[in-house]
Amino acid sequence: MSPGAPRVHLYGAGEAMLAFGPQTGPQLLVLQPLFEEMNRARALIVAICRALGERGIGCWLPDLPGTGESLTALDTTSWQDWCDAVPLAVAAIGGGFTGSVGFRGGVLLDHAVPGRRWRFAPTAGRSLLSDLRRSALASGSDPATPAGYHLAPGLTGPLSTADVGADDNARTIRLVSDDRPADRHIEGVPVWRRPEPEQNLALARLLSDDIAIWAMA
């Protein structure tokens, strides 16, 4: 197996969790963006995890219930199921757990993480749901199943009011184009908006450098 190859672990009731990098040193739980944004940001996040692995930092990417390789159906998954999955993933990481790294809507789940939190471009649940609804309206599909996602009321209800609060334990990074409060604003494009998944190595380098310094502190 090549050094950069990810491992597959299980957590909770058999959910899958991809892991990059060494199992010694700082270990980070990576909370990916939600819905379509996850696919669009996937290449960026994997590039960041590989870069962190090369610097001696382990990264763990759980599939939330109802997503990825999950055996659970998304249409029976609630927001609480996602919140409950986070501490189970932390437990599976073990004693080396250092903190969480959240991207976009993934940050909405980091309140369930013990310890330190690093956040990139956090967004409110209302905004994510508006985006899904508009995509459905624009493409003429049923707004109840936007972009093919069958979402339970138990997920959309709490998500619609979920937002990221100020947190002394969190470091927040945003793009310069987003003037909301952050510890640092960096140059880059919002890859999660691009319909065609796009690699952006410059952005991956900026973010992995910032995470590495934060994780080692």
> Which residues are at the interface with another protein (CB under 8 A)?
123, 127, 130-135, 137-140, 177-180, 189-190, 193-196, 198
82: tokens are 């996602």
Q: Specify whether the CB–CB gap between 106 and 117 falls below 8 A.
A: no
Half-sphere exposure of 42 (CA within 13 A, CB side): 11
Q: Specify whether the CB–CB gap between 106 and 34 falls below 8 A.
A: yes
Instruction: Report, in Å, the least distance between residue 41 CB and another protein.
Output: 13
* Closer CB to another protein, 36 or 110, in the complex: 36
* Closer CB to another protein, 147 or 213, in the complex: 147
Instruction: Report, in Å, the least distance between residue 175 CB and another protein.
Output: 8
* Closer CB to another protein, 11 or 192, in the complex: 192
Instruction: Report, in Å, the least distance between residue 196 CB and another protein.
Output: 8
Burial class (CB in 10 A: 0-12, 13-18, 19+), 28: buried
* Closer CB to another protein, 134 or 184, in the complex: 134
Q: Which of 43, 85, 90 is nearest to 67 (CA)?
A: 85
Instruction: Report, in Å, the least distance between residue 121 CB and another protein.
Output: 9
